[in-house]
Amino acid sequence: MQEIENRMTYVPDGAECPTCGGRLENSTTTFTAAFGRMVMVVYDTPAAICTQCGEEVFASEVSKRFDAILADMKARGSMMEVVSFNTEKEGVFE
């Protein structure tokens, strides 16, 4: 995961939020998504977060990581995945 972290394309601090025009700051967040009956939780996820509305903007490398986690879940028939963005796998509930 270190390689992915090094390639993150953060926005410059203070860039404009695409939703409200507020100010974006680079930080981390917990990304949670439900896909049908599957749930994915990825904590320590790099994101640019709006200080005004809370909108989270993810780099393309981050989105690719989400896609890889979801594909792995489908391949294993997993119903829930809880992982840190910075590690391969920290917890799986099937």
Cα(47)–Cα(62) distance, integer angstroms = 8
- Per-residue pLDDT of 11-66, as tens digits, reads 777 789 999 999 999 999 999 999 899 999 999 999 999 999 999 999 888 999 99
Question: In sequence order, what are the residues at sequence separation of 6 or more whose Cβ sits closer than 8 angstroms to the Cβ of residue 46?
Answer: 5, 8, 10, 26, 27, 28, 58, 59, 62, 85
CA 67 to centroid of chain Cα atoms: 10
Q: Are 54 and 47 in contact (CB under 8 A)?
A: no
Q: Which CATH architecture has domain 2-93?
A: Roll (3.10)
Q: Model's pTM, two decimal places?
A: 0.75
Burial of 93 (0-12, 13-18, 19+ CB in 10 A): exposed
**Domain spans of the chain?**
2-93
